[in-house]
Chain A
C-alpha cells in the first residue's frame, strides 16, 4: 500500500493524530470469534420449558463426568426431563455430544431448574448439585458418567423449595464444602408471590468424619435469589456470600452480602458497615478482577441495565461499598443492540471469559424476555461484550453470530473441542438449546486462530482436589491476569474443568496459585497453547493432551 495513504487512513481510523479518541473508542479492532451454532448436528437436542415456575432457571452444568477431561453437559429441562450429554467432539473438530442416562428416576429428572458440578467428597469424580422445584438433589459421581443420589448418604435435606441459586466453598480447614442454596418465591405463603421470598439455606458439613449436612442454617431474610457466589471481595482469605435478588417479588429487599466466618454464625453486611442498598431484578452474577487491583468486580444481570459493581476507592478495601461502573465501561447492555425493538433487555446468565484470547476479558450475557412481558424487548439477542485495551467493552454479538431470536437463560462457556478457543452452550426457554462452536477469526479464506492461550487445572491434593477457592495469577510480560476457581454464580449454571486464559501474543507465561488455604505456590513456567496441570507442592507443571479421536 502506498505509504502516504496508510498514514492518512491510519489517522482517520484512529483519530490519534488529533488526540481524538472517539473513533477509536467506537471501533473494535481486535479479533471477533466466529461462533457457529451447531446444536442439532452436534446431537445436543434439548429444550427448557414449563409454566410460571420455569420462567426462571434453565441452567446447564459443564463438567467432565467420564475422566477424559472433555466437558460433558447436564441440562435442566423444567417440565421436560433433564438430560446428560457426553462430549464426543473431535479435537479441533466439529462438536459432538451423545445423550446418556443420568440414572435418575423420572420424578427426580423432572422439574429441574439448574445444576452445579462440584467434587464434594474429593474422590476426583465430579458430583452434581441439582436445583429443582421441590427436593434438591446431590448426585454423587462414580466415574464413567454414573451417579447415585446421595441426599441420604450425605444427610442432605433437599427441601421442598423453588431453588434457583447455588454456591459452594471449603471453609477454613474443612474437609468438605459448605453448600449454599438460593431459593426464590415461597409459593405456599399467604399473598404469594409478592413479598413471599423463601429463605436461602446454608449447608455446612458437620465436623464428624462422615460427610454430614444434617444441620442446615437458614439465611434470613431471603429476597428471592436468582444467583449467588462465594467471593473473597476484600482479599481477607475468607469468602463472603454475595446474592443477587429479584426485586419483582421481594418487599423491602435488596442485594445481599453475607459474612460467613468459619465456624461462626453468618451475618449480613449492613449499611453501617458500608453496604449500599441496591435493588435490581438480579438474575445472574459474574466475577472478575478487571482492573487487577486484587478486588473483584461483579457483573449483575437485570432487566434493563446490566450493573458492574466495583469497590469504591473510598472503601479502602475494608468496607463493601460498591459503585456502578457499567456506563463508563460501556457494558450496560440495556437494550437490544440490533433490530427495531428498543424496549429494555432482560439479562440472565452472565459470565466473563476471553473469547478471542487477547488477554482482555469479555462478558457474555444471556438475554430473553421472561415470557411475554410487553414492556421488555421481545427480540432480545444474547450479548457478547468484548473487552478492548482501554478496559471498555464493545458489543460484538451480531458479528460473532450469537444474536439468535431465542430466549436465553443459563449458559456455560468452555472449550468443548480442545482447540484452545472457548465454545458455548446456551439454554433457551421454550426453544432449542444453542451450541456455539468458536471457529476463530473469520477471514476471506476461512478461519484463523486468535491469540495464544492456556488452560489450567489445579491439583490441590486429597481435600478439595480441584482447588475451589484458589486464585490463579498468570503473568505475561507486564500483564497480570487472575482467575478464581469458583462454584456458583451465573444463572442456575455452573462449570468445572480447565480454567481458560487468553495470552495474546505471549508465547509463554508464569503461573502462581494462591491455594484455597491461602498458601502461595512457587512460580510455574509454561508455554502457551497448552493444557497444564499445576500440582500442589510439586516443582513442575504437567501438560495434558487430549485424545485425538474421542470415542
Chain B
C-alpha cells in the first residue's frame, strides 16, 4: 500500500514537473533537439521522394544537432562499448576527450568540407573495446587506437556494394556445400566477388567449412565496409555505436529494455533516448550523401598531370587494392538491412524495411554504368582488408591493440574517393601530404609504394595531381 501511495505521489509529481518541462520544451529556445523522437518507428515500405525528403530533413537535423542533457546526452553509467556495458566507476566529468563522450554533434567531427565529411587531426577518436579500462585518460596506445575521422560521402553506395559482395560469397559457400555433399568429397572454392579475391574455402562433405585460407574478410564472409579496420557492417550499426560512444545518446534497439532490462541504461534520467526512427533518419541522410567525384582540373597543366597520374596509378598497381570502381547491380537501399545481428535492427526484426532508390538522388543519376547496366561506383577501394606493413615499412602498424579480431597491422583499403578534400591522411591522420602517406605503404602495397618511390619527381607529382582530382563537391 505504501509503495502504491509512493508511486501515485510520484506519478502526480512527475506530471507536474513534466508539465512544466513540456511547457519549457515547447518554446523556440528550448535547449533540446526538437527533431529527436520525431520518427518513433522506423519507416517501412518503398519510400517516395517526398517521404524520403521528409526523413532526410530529420536525419540532417539529427546529424548536425548539438545534443544536450535535455536530450539525454551523456552516459554516466555506461561505457563506450558496443555491447551495453556498465561503468565500474562513474566519471567525474560529463565529457572525456579520450574515452568519450567527446562531442555534442556528429558534425562536430564530420565536417570537412561539409557536414558528413572528414575531420582533421583535432577530431581524432580513441577506439577501445570499452570493456576493461573503459575510462582511460591517456593516449598511450596500450589503451586505445587513435583514429582519424572518415568522410561519409557515398556511404550508401559502399554499403550496397558490401551487401552484394556478401551475398556473392555466401552463394559461393552454399554452392560448395551442395557440391561437397553430392560428391562426398572435400571441395575447395575460390572466394571472389566483383573481381576481388577473398582467398578460398575448403568445404567437407559433412558441412564443415575450413576457413584457414580466407583472406581479408571475416570468417562469416560478411563484408563489413565501415571503419578503418572494416569491422562495422552497416551505417545503422555504426550510427548506434557512435551515438553511444561520442554523445551518450543510446538507441533503444541496442540499449533498451529488450536487451538490458532497463529503459535508461546509461542512468542519465532519460528513457529510450533514440528511437528506431531516429536511427533510420540518420542512416537515410548518410546513405544518400552524394558520391565524391573526379573533378576536371581548371588548368591544362593539372589536366595533363592528372591524365599521366591515372596511367601511373594503374601501372604501379595501386588499383590492385584501390580499384577505381566496383560494379553495383541495384541502387535500392533497404534499411534495416540484411546483415546486421541482434542489437542493430535488421530486416528480420521488423515487419518491413524502408526501401529507397538512391536513383531518386540527382547525383546518383550521373554515375557511370557498364555494358550490363551496372552502376560503376567510383570508390577507389576493394572493400577488403590487407596487411599494410612489413619489416622495413611499418609506420602504419603503429597500433598495439587489435580491433574486433583484426590484427594491428591489417586495415581495410581506404576508399580514395574524396581524398583530394580530406587531408590529413592515414588512419591516425598522421600524414599531412599524399606523398608521405603513399611512402608509408608497406606489406601488400609495398611493391606499388616502391614503384612510386623509384619514380621521377614528375611521375610522383603526376600521381598526386590525379589523386587531388578525387574530391567531395561543395
Contact with B along A57-90 (1 / 0, CB 8 A): 0000000000111000000000000000000000
Q: What residues of chain A lie closer than 8 Å to B3, measured between beta carbons?
A: 20, 22
B405 touches A504 (CB 8 A): no
In this assembly, does A194 line the interface, its C-beta being within 8 Å of a C-beta of chain B? no
In this assembly, does A173 line the interface, its C-beta being within 8 Å of a C-beta of chain B? no
In this assembly, does B473 line the interface, its C-beta being within 8 Å of a C-beta of chain A? no
Q: What is the bound-complex CA distance between A116 and B348, given in angstroms?
A: 37
In this assembly, does A525 line the interface, its C-beta being within 8 Å of a C-beta of chain B? yes
A1 touches B40 (CB 8 A): yes
A11 touches B14 (CB 8 A): yes
On chain B, the number of residues with a Cβ less than 8 Å from chain A's Cβ atoms is 63
A533 touches B208 (CB 8 A): yes
In this assembly, does A262 line the interface, its C-beta being within 8 Å of a C-beta of chain B? no
In this assembly, does B455 line the interface, its C-beta being within 8 Å of a C-beta of chain A? no
In this assembly, does B317 line the interface, its C-beta being within 8 Å of a C-beta of chain A? no
Contact with A along B247-288 (1 / 0, CB 8 A): 000000010011111111000011110010000000000000
A16 touches B264 (CB 8 A): yes
Q: What is the bound-complex CA distance between A68 and B222, given in angstroms?
A: 25
In this assembly, does A540 line the interface, its C-beta being within 8 Å of a C-beta of chain B? yes
In this assembly, does B171 line the interface, its C-beta being within 8 Å of a C-beta of chain A? no
Q: What residues of chain B lie closer than 8 Å to A539, measured between beta carbons?
A: 212
Q: What residues of chain B lie closer than 8 Å to A504, measured between beta carbons?
A: 83, 259, 342-343
In this assembly, does B394 line the interface, its C-beta being within 8 Å of a C-beta of chain A? no
Q: Known interface pairs A527-B219, A539-B212. Does A389 touch B261 (Cβ–Cβ under 8 Å)?
A: yes
Within 8 A of B (CB), among A388-418: 388-390
In this assembly, does A104 line the interface, its C-beta being within 8 Å of a C-beta of chain B? no
Pick from A4, A445, A544: contact of B351, CB under 8 Å: A445
Contact with B along A332-358 (1 / 0, CB 8 A): 000000000000000000000000011
Q: What residues of chain A lie closer than 8 Å to B1, measured between beta carbons?
A: none
| Minimum C-beta distance from A144 to chain B (A) | 13
Q: What residues of chain A lie closer than 8 Å to B348, measured between beta carbons?
A: 448-449
Beta-carbon nearest neighbor of A11 in chain B: B14
Q: What is the bound-complex CA distance between A406 and B12, given in angstroms?
A: 47
Within 8 A of B (CB), among A526-549: 526-530, 533, 539-548
5 intermolecular pairs with C-beta atoms under 8 Å apart: A2-B22, A4-B19, A388-B261, A390-B261, A506-B83
In this assembly, does B311 line the interface, its C-beta being within 8 Å of a C-beta of chain A? no
Q: What residues of chain A lie closer than 8 Å to B174, measured between beta carbons?
A: 545, 548
Within 8 A of B (CB), among A148-176: none
Contact with B along A16-60 (1 / 0, CB 8 A): 111010111000011100000000000000000000000000000
Contact with A along B221-238 (1 / 0, CB 8 A): 010000000000100000
Q: What is the bound-complex CA distance between A4 and B348, given in angstroms?
A: 31
Q: What residues of chain A lie closer than 8 Å to B211, measured between beta carbons?
A: 540-543
B7 touches A545 (CB 8 A): no
Contact with A along B1-37 (1 / 0, CB 8 A): 0010011001100110011011001000000100011
In this assembly, does B54 line the interface, its C-beta being within 8 Å of a C-beta of chain A? no
Q: What is the bound-complex CA distance between A389 and B255, given in angstroms?
A: 13
In this assembly, does A315 line the interface, its C-beta being within 8 Å of a C-beta of chain B? no
In this assembly, does B177 line the interface, its C-beta being within 8 Å of a C-beta of chain A? yes
Within 8 A of A (CB), among B299-326: none
Within 8 A of A (CB), among B179-238: 181, 206-212, 218-220, 222, 233
Q: What residues of chain B lie closer than 8 Å to A67, measured between beta carbons?
A: 206
A18 touches B10 (CB 8 A): yes
Q: What is the bound-complex CA distance between A539 and B271, given in angstroms?
A: 45
| A contact residues vs B (CB 8 Å cutoff) | 1-18, 20, 22-24, 29-31, 67-69, 357-358, 388-390, 443, 445-446, 448-452, 476-479, 503-508, 525-530, 533, 539-548
Q: What residues of chain B lie closer than 8 Å to A17, measured between beta carbons?
A: 10, 14, 269
7 nearest A-B residue pairs (beta carbon):
A505-B343, A10-B271, A445-B351, A477-B83, A527-B220, A389-B261, A29-B257
B259 touches A543 (CB 8 A): no
From A7, A389, A451, name the one whose CB has the most chain B CB atoms within 10 angstroms.
A7
Q: Known interface pairs A389-B260, A452-B342. Does A508 touch B404 (Cβ–Cβ under 8 Å)?
A: yes
In this assembly, does B349 line the interface, its C-beta being within 8 Å of a C-beta of chain A? yes
Pick from B209, B261, B404: contact of A544, CB under 8 Å: B209
From A29, A478, A479, A546, name the one whose CB has the most chain B CB atoms within 10 angstroms.
A478
Q: What is the bound-complex CA distance between A519 and B175, given in angstroms?
A: 38
Within 8 A of A (CB), among B77-98: 81-85
Q: What is the bound-complex CA distance between A508 and B218, given in angstroms?
A: 11
Pick from A6, A7, A543: contact of B208, CB under 8 Å: A543
Q: What is the bound-complex CA distance between A528 and B348, given in angstroms?
A: 16
Q: Known interface pairs A4-B18, A10-B263, A505-B259. Does A543 touch B219 (Cβ–Cβ under 8 Å)?
A: yes
Q: What is the bound-complex CA distance between A11 and B131, given in angstroms?
A: 28
Q: What residues of chain B lie closer than 8 Å to A540, measured between beta carbons?
A: 210-212, 219
B254 touches A7 (CB 8 A): no
Q: What residues of chain A lie closer than 8 Å to B257, measured between beta carbons?
A: 29-30
Pick from A8, A29, A505, A528: contact of B18, CB under 8 Å: A8
Q: What residues of chain B lie closer than 8 Å to A446, measured between beta carbons?
A: 351
In this assembly, does B341 line the interface, its C-beta being within 8 Å of a C-beta of chain A? yes
Q: Known interface pairs A14-B263, A544-B208. Does A505 touch B84 (Cβ–Cβ under 8 Å)?
A: yes
Q: What is the bound-complex CA distance between A445 and B132, given in angstroms?
A: 40
In this assembly, does B173 line the interface, its C-beta being within 8 Å of a C-beta of chain A? yes
Q: What is the bound-complex CA distance between A479 and B85, given in angstroms?
A: 9
Contacts A7-B21, A544-B208 known; 11 new A-B pairs at CB < 8 A:
A3-B36, A5-B18, A6-B272, A12-B10, A18-B7, A23-B7, A30-B258, A389-B262, A542-B210, A543-B208, A545-B177
Q: Known interface pairs A3-B25, A527-B218. Does A69 touch B261 (Cβ–Cβ under 8 Å)?
A: no
| Minimum C-beta distance from B52 to chain A (A) | 23
A528 touches B131 (CB 8 A): no
Q: What is the bound-complex CA distance between A111 and B262, given in angstroms?
A: 51
A449 touches B342 (CB 8 A): yes
Q: What is the bound-complex CA distance between A15 and B25, given in angstroms?
A: 24
B207 touches A7 (CB 8 A): no
B132 touches A525 (CB 8 A): no
Q: What is the bound-complex CA distance between A539 and B211, given in angstroms?
A: 11
Within 8 A of A (CB), among B382-431: 404-405
Q: What residues of chain A lie closer than 8 Å to B40, measured between beta carbons?
A: 1
Q: What residues of chain A lie closer than 8 Å to B212, measured between beta carbons?
A: 539-540
Pick from A20, A30, A390, A526: contact of B6, CB under 8 Å: A20
Q: What is the bound-complex CA distance between A513 and B129, given in angstroms?
A: 23
Q: What residues of chain A lie closer than 8 Å to B81, measured between beta carbons?
A: 477-478
| Minimum C-beta distance from A449 to chain B (A) | 6
Q: What residues of chain A lie closer than 8 Å to B19, measured between beta carbons?
A: 4
Beta-carbon nearest neighbor of B83 in chain A: A477
Q: What residues of chain B lie closer than 8 Å to A389, measured between beta carbons?
A: 260-262
Q: What is the bound-complex CA distance between A514 and B218, given in angstroms?
A: 26
| Minimum C-beta distance from A154 to chain B (A) | 27
B206 touches A477 (CB 8 A): no
Q: What residues of chain B lie closer than 8 Å to A507, measured between beta carbons?
A: 233, 341, 343
A7 touches B83 (CB 8 A): no
B262 touches A525 (CB 8 A): no
Beta-carbon nearest neighbor of A528 in chain B: B341
Q: What residues of chain A lie closer than 8 Å to B209, measured between beta carbons?
A: 542-545
Q: Known interface pairs A357-B342, A448-B348, A506-B343. Does A14 touch B262 (Cβ–Cβ under 8 Å)?
A: yes
Beta-carbon nearest neighbor of B71 in chain A: A3
Q: What residues of chain B lie closer than 8 Å to A542, measured between beta carbons?
A: 208-211
Q: What residues of chain A lie closer than 8 Å to B233, measured between beta carbons?
A: 507
Q: What residues of chain A lie closer than 8 Å to B275, measured between beta carbons?
A: 1
| Minimum C-beta distance from A498 to chain B (A) | 12
| Minimum C-beta distance from A189 to chain B (A) | 50
Q: What residues of chain A lie closer than 8 Å to B264, measured between beta carbons?
A: 10, 14, 16
Q: Known interface pairs A13-B263, A445-B351, A527-B219. Does A450 touch B207 (Cβ–Cβ under 8 Å)?
A: no
| Minimum C-beta distance from A501 to chain B (A) | 14
Q: What is the bound-complex CA distance between A3 and B23, given in angstroms?
A: 12
